[in-house]
Structure 1
Amino acid sequence: MVDVTAEHPTATRLAICGRTDERGTVDGAWWPSAYDLKATLPDLISVMGRWLGPVSRVLYDPSLFPSAPSRIIRGTTVISVDRYSLVASDTIYLTGTHTRNALLYVVPPQTDADHACDLLKRVESTTIPMTVRMLRALVGGHPAAREHLG
């Protein structure tokens, strides 16, 4: 696991970009601190709720996240967290209550902080739709990421 607080005290772990209806495009990239959704998902839900409206459901691929809670309770809201074999296992899908949803590419947690931050900046500043394939290629330049993604 990468300790971002020491190297990058204000490191961003989420970047949003524009998505089109083109197959394989994503709404952004998320760099969780670990593959533990119980620990990392509440913060993502909180941030994404500002964009999607309150998040009502999260779909994750169990091949990437081995364990997760079945639901997250935020105040009086219950958010379903469901296993689902997604087309791209290195993504996570969030459904908001305002008929919006988001598909995020998951940057491997063990990715070097400088590399991950550069990738997220690139996602945020792009003027073209980003695809899972493009993001895998960008992450693939780093040995730790290549190991995880095989």
Structure 2
Amino acid sequence: MRTPPTDQSARHGPSRADATAGSRTSHRPGGSRRSGEGPVMFTAAQRATVVPPEPPTRPRLSLTAVRATRAVLDGGWWPRSRDPVAELPGLILALNERYGPVRQLMLNSHSWDGHFRRLAVGSRVVRAGWFSTVDPAMLIATTERGDQIDLLVVPPEVPAATADIAMATAADPSNQLRAPDVLATSRTAPTAARGEGVDPATVWDNEGGHSAREVPSRPHIPGEPVSTDST
């Protein structure tokens, strides 16, 4: 189990928030952001829980087989689009199976086509925080027991060969590169290395996910609650 840095804001942005449930409505809000730095502002409708209109898709996801104490990332994710309502449910279900129920996600506010405060996934509601201070190449998930999962986000438009090597690097327990550096290195990797692809044992996409198993816990990082709206 690795110990997170004391200054978490310097690594990923704002601190974590507790998830809460709200009334449900089926729509895809766009969201707006205050000028300058800070969280996304929500209208009253956007504070409601979004119910995805389509079943979740299998995520293109590569996770570390063993969570190393000093590893920078826990794996890599390659979404098919920038629509968070379409992409996030499948990812959340895969993370639920591997690490236990996810209660909250933190994402970059500029990298996605819409924003919402809460998302219904199965019988659970997951809270989302959108911040300009979260690196576009990162997604941070927090489980119900307070464990933190740090994922590389590979842009949807990246070629398959580049995405393969980026996810393989992010899922390597010995990797010490941060998410933006993983992407940059993957884009310039030799052709031979690109052809190796992702280790099939770590990818959830083809077989629909591995069986859940106990994984080492990374403690929740204490901090002030995250504000995801103007209230």
Q: Does 2:85 correspond to 1:52? A: no
Which of residues 109, 123, 136 in structure 2 aligns to 1:76? Answer: 123
Q: Does 2:143 correspond to 1:103? A: no
Q: Which whole-Å CA distance do the structure 1 matches of 2:97 and 2:158 have between them?
A: 27
Q: Which whole-Å CA distance do the structure 1 matches of 2:157 and 2:133 have between them?
A: 22
Counterpart for residue 136 of structure 1 = 183
Deviation per residue, 1:40-91 (Å, 9 max, x gap):
0000000011222111111111111131332211333111112123342321
**3-state SS of the aligned residue for 2:136?**
coil
Q: Which whole-Å CA distance do the structure 2 matches of 1:91 and 1:128 have between them?
A: 15
Q: Does 2:111 correspond to 1:64? A: yes
Q: Which residue identity does 2:127 align to in structure 1? A: S
User: What fraction of aligned residue pairs are identical, expressed as a percent?
Assistant: 24
Native 8 Å contact 1:19 1:130 kept in 2:
no
Q: List alignment gaps of at least 5 residues for structure 1.
A: 1-10, 143-150
Q: Which whole-Å CA distance do the structure 2 matches of 1:138 and 1:45 have between them?
A: 27
Q: Which whole-Å CA distance do the structure 2 matches of 1:21 and 1:114 have between them?
A: 27
Counterpart for residue 28 of structure 1 = 75
Q: Which residue identity does 1:60 align to in structure 2? A: L
Q: Which whole-Å CA distance do the structure 2 matches of 1:31 and 1:88 have between them?
A: 15
**Bigger fraction of residues in helix:** 1
Q: Which whole-Å CA distance do the structure 1 matches of 2:97 and 2:181 have between them?
A: 26
Native 8 Å contact 1:28 1:104 kept in 2:
yes
Native 8 Å contact 1:56 1:96 kept in 2:
yes
Deviation per residue, 1:78-116 (Å, 9 max, x gap):
111121233423211111112212111111101111221
What is the Cα-based RMSD across aligned positions, in Å?
2.5
Native 8 Å contact 1:48 1:55 kept in 2:
yes
**3-state SS of the aligned residue for 1:111?**
coil
TM-score, L = length of structure 2: 0.49
Cα pair distance change 1:61/1:87, threshold 3 Å: closer
TM-score, L = length of structure 1: 0.72
Q: Which residue identity does 1:107 align to in structure 2? A: V
Q: Which whole-Å CA distance do the structure 1 matches of 2:109 and 2:181 have between them?
A: 23
Deviation per residue, 1:6-29 (Å, 9 max, x gap):
xxxxx972122345557xx22221
Native 8 Å contact 2:73 2:178 kept in 1:
yes
Native 8 Å contact 2:74 2:171 kept in 1:
no
Native 8 Å contact 1:19 1:26 kept in 2:
no
**3-state SS of the aligned residue for 1:127?**
coil
Cα pair distance change 1:130/1:98, threshold 3 Å: farther
Native 8 Å contact 1:61 1:84 kept in 2:
yes
Cα pair distance change 1:95/1:40, threshold 3 Å: same
Q: Which whole-Å CA distance do the structure 2 matches of 1:112 and 1:49 have between them?
A: 28
**3-state SS of the aligned residue for 1:138?**
helix
